[in-house]
Structures are given as C-alpha cells and as structure tokens.
Structure 1
Amino acid sequence: LDARAVCLNIDMDAKEIKISDDLPFGDVTSTGTGRNWAHVNSISYDPSDDGIILSLRHQGIVKIGRDKKVKWILASPEGWSADFKEKVLVPVDKNGNKIKCENSKCEGDFDWSWTQHTAWLTPRYDNKGSVKHISVFDNGDGRGMEQPALKEQKYSRAVEYKIDEKKGTVEQTWEFGKERGFDFYSAVTSVVEWQKDKSTYFISSSNVYLLKPDKTIKMVLVEIDPKTNDVKFEMDVESASRDDVAYRAMVIDPNIFDY
C-alpha cells in the first residue's frame, strides 16, 4: 500500500515514512500481526440470511454470518490460507464461464476492488435469493498487488458485482471511472450509492489529486445512469487547503426536514 494513501501521514515532501516498532496496536500503515490488518470502512446488512458484508480496506470484501464464520470473500485469491481460500469467489463472465486470472490480474474487463469503500448491497436489485448484487467504490491503490511506475497510472472506479452464493462465483456487471484515469483517482475514502428515485448511482471520488502536491485536492461528484453511463450531474468541490481531506458525500432530500 502507498503509505500516503492511508491518511495517517500525508506529508507530500516526505522521502520515507517510518513505522515505529513500539506500537503493537493502533492505526499504522503496516498490515502485520497486531497492526491495522483489516481497516473496516463499511458494513452492509443482508436480511435474507442475517449476514453482514464488510469492506476490509486492506484485504477485500467479506461476508460473515451471525456465527462469525466467513461465507465468501471477494478478493484476489493470492495469499489466503487454506481455510479461507475455498471461500474466495471465482470470477465468471456473463455466461457463467470462468475467467482466467493469474497474479492478481484477470482477462477481459473483470477486476477485484482494491482498498475499496462502501461495499453495500445495492437496492437496484431485490437480493432476496442466493444471488446478491453489491456496489463498491474501488479506490485502486495496490491494484494487482503492485504499485505502478508512475502514480498517475492509478485510477479509481465505481463497480457493481453479481455474486452467486450457491455457486461461489462473482460477475462484474458495471463500472464507471476507469476511463477517466488519474483525474478520477481517490487514494482514500469515497462512496458509490444507488438512488432509488432516479435509478442512478451517485458517486463521490472524494480526494482527487491527493498525491499531487502541485494541485488542489478536489472532490468529484457525479450522478450516473448505469444503463448508459451518461452523466446526469457533475460537480467539483475544491479544498480550501492541502490539509482539507474529505471523507464522503451523500444526497440529502430536503423534504425530509420539518422547517
């Protein structure tokens, strides 16, 4: 992981970021034993089976039961122990055919999410049976288990997955943002959320240019029709200073307030 992308020490002039060995616990950038190995940043409840979907920023997306046992894992199969490897979902195409993946990279358009946020069941679908749909903001740091030669090669995206819990498979059904490249890349935070009344996805790429000290950090807000990827609304919110890091944004209906 890019140490500056964890929002613990965003010092753009630092040549190196040191991690103290006398901190056995706490929110430090390493992910070893006793460290910030999971970094949970979203929870989604599935009433159909009393399950809980967790976004573990440093590991992937995991569903657990009330018994605390893992039901499935949406992440690259690399590095998992034998107990968990069988829980890792298998990527398939729209016809149910297995997609070839190697070294954390897959053929075609499929990709896992990397250092993601807001892994939520999307109300775009009913999600009542064994087939679930989740929407995720895929931040993209550490994509493919590596760092690119240039940070400008990084990108973020909003992505939708279809998970068949009985078959143990996952299909990528939609994405937006990859084509915008570094101009849509948020190393940290952000959100994608379904808007029932408009049948659109609202997306906040909350810290664009966080890793570019010569540019003002901005939050890019967009509303997308996932059927066409047409932009219905877009707005940039610039930070007042380099220290103004945003977490997320949400749509608020003024009609819910009693003035």
Structure 2
Amino acid sequence: MDWLHINTISYDDKTGNILLSARNQDMIWSMNYQTNKINWIFSSKPEIQWPSSFRKYLLKPSSGTKYPGGQHGVYILNEENNKLNVLLYDNNIVVTNGDKKQNGKFSAATEYQIDTKQKTIKQVWSYGKNLGKQNFTEVIGYAQRLNNGNTLINFGFKNKGKESNIIEVDAYGNQVFNLTITNSAKDMTYVYRAYRMQFYPDNYVFDATK
C-alpha cells in the first residue's frame, strides 16, 4: 500500500530545508535536509489524531484557507522575515485527509503564505475554482509562476485523461493563454507537467536576408 506517495521534493539551498508533498495523505511539510528536523506540517488531519510530539508543528489556517487534496508540485516562491510563500497544484481530491466538502468540484493552482514563526498559513491566491468540475483532475497537474507574475497551470488529466488543458493567467485571474491537447492515438492525452520556456535567447536576432 502506497500510504504516503511523495510526488514532490523541493530543496532550498538558502536554508537547507526541503518541501515535501505526500499525495496520499493530502499533506505538505517542511524539514531540514541535514538534521531531519521538522519545521511545519500542513494537513487537515485533526490535531487530536496526531501524536502529541507532532502537534507543535501543525500550521493553523486563517479563515478562507483551503486544505489541499491529492496535491502536486509544491515549491517555494519567496521567503522573507519568517514569511514563506509557496505554490502548488491542488487536485482537490480526498485521498485520506482532504477537504471532503469541496472534494472533486474543481482543481486549482494555489499560493499560500506561511508564517514560520507563528505557525500560521493563509491562502493568498488561487485560480481554478471558477472553472468548476470540467477542469477537475483527479491525478497529476502543475503550476508555474512566471517572471512576469503570471501563472501557467497544467490541468493535466482533464476528462479522465482524454485531454489536457494548459492555461496561463495573470495575477487577477485573466486568461492570457489557453491550450487544450486532445486526440491522442491511444485515447489518453495527459500531461504530467507543463512549463513556459523561452524559445530563443534574449540576444537572438532574426536575419531574413540569410
């Protein structure tokens, strides 16, 4: 039984910490790579169900902050003055401890801000809920924050894997790019991750005379 299913390990060379995503526990957490010391845990599993020695690590969510479910691709956006911003793709499916009230209704790219000193967490940005169940993906998916502040979101298992929908939105949720991939020869067209990549270097000059 794959009770944990680690689908992301993200290392921060500035602090020596690693972020981990355990899909099958609907949980993300941070720990130090060298010491194995836990920094914090974000999980909807009730505090009383945790061993007493772990309870001090549990983050307390602010009002309106959604717990992720079956999530993918968590990584650090920035960290300053004990405030850590992370981005992930929330599949929003209850595997073990997810949000049962919202289970399966949508998937979303979500940014959280964590106060590592106070052990609190708040949701500061999200996109996908307005798309509803048509963009719900029970597995895989990714979100990439671009240099211009936009976010590229890979709804990679749309329609049970028969298509993938890759959408780029600005900070206000306005779509600036929307691509749907369909018609695979094997009737399954799912994309595990999608990235916006620069095709030409900045100093490239196209010379039509050659």
TM-score normalised over the length of structure 2: 0.85
- CA 146–176 in structure 1, closer or farther in 2 if over 3 Å, else same: closer
- CA 239–84 in structure 1, closer or farther in 2 if over 3 Å, else same: farther
How far 1:220 sits from its partner (Å)? 0.8
How far 1:41 sits from its partner (Å)? 1.0
Which residue number corresponds to residue 217 of structure 1?
162
On the 8 A contact 1:120/1:136 being kept in 2, the answer is yes
Task: State the AA in 1 paired with 2:35.
Answer: D
| Separation in 2, partners of 1:48, 1:248 | 25
Which residue number corresponds to residue 208 of structure 2?
none
Which residue number corresponds to residue 254 of structure 1?
199
| Separation in 2, partners of 1:187, 1:243 | 14
Which residue number corresponds to residue 44 of structure 2?
76
On the 8 A contact 2:92/2:102 being kept in 1, the answer is no
| Separation in 2, partners of 1:176, 1:221 | 13
Which residue number corresponds to residue 110 of structure 1?
65
| Separation in 2, partners of 1:64, 1:200 | 29
Which residue number corresponds to residue 21 of structure 2?
55
Structure 1 residue runs of 5 or longer lacking an equivalent are: 1-34, 93-98, 100-108, 211-215
RMSD: 2.2
Match status 1:36 vs 2:29: no
The one of 145, 162, 173 aligned to 1:229:
173
On the 8 A contact 2:154/2:191 being kept in 1, the answer is no
How far 1:86 sits from its partner (Å)? 2.1
On the 8 A contact 2:164/2:190 being kept in 1, the answer is no
Structure 2 residue runs of 5 or longer lacking an equivalent are: 205-210
Higher strand proportion, which one? 2
Which residue number corresponds to residue 30 of structure 1?
none
| Separation in 1, partners of 2:111, 2:183 | 29
- Alpha-carbon displacement from aligned partner over 1:83-113 (angstroms, at most 9, x marks no partner): 2222110012xxxxxx4xxxxxxxxx32111
On the 8 A contact 2:59/2:120 being kept in 1, the answer is yes
| Separation in 1, partners of 2:199, 2:102 | 43
How far 1:209 sits from its partner (Å)? 1.0
How far 1:130 sits from its partner (Å)? 1.4
TM-score normalised over the length of structure 1: 0.69
Which residue number corresponds to residue 185 of structure 1?
136
How far 1:244 sits from its partner (Å)? 4.0
Structure 1 stretches of 4+ with a deviation exceeding 3 A read 145-148, 241-245
How far 1:251 sits from its partner (Å)? 1.5
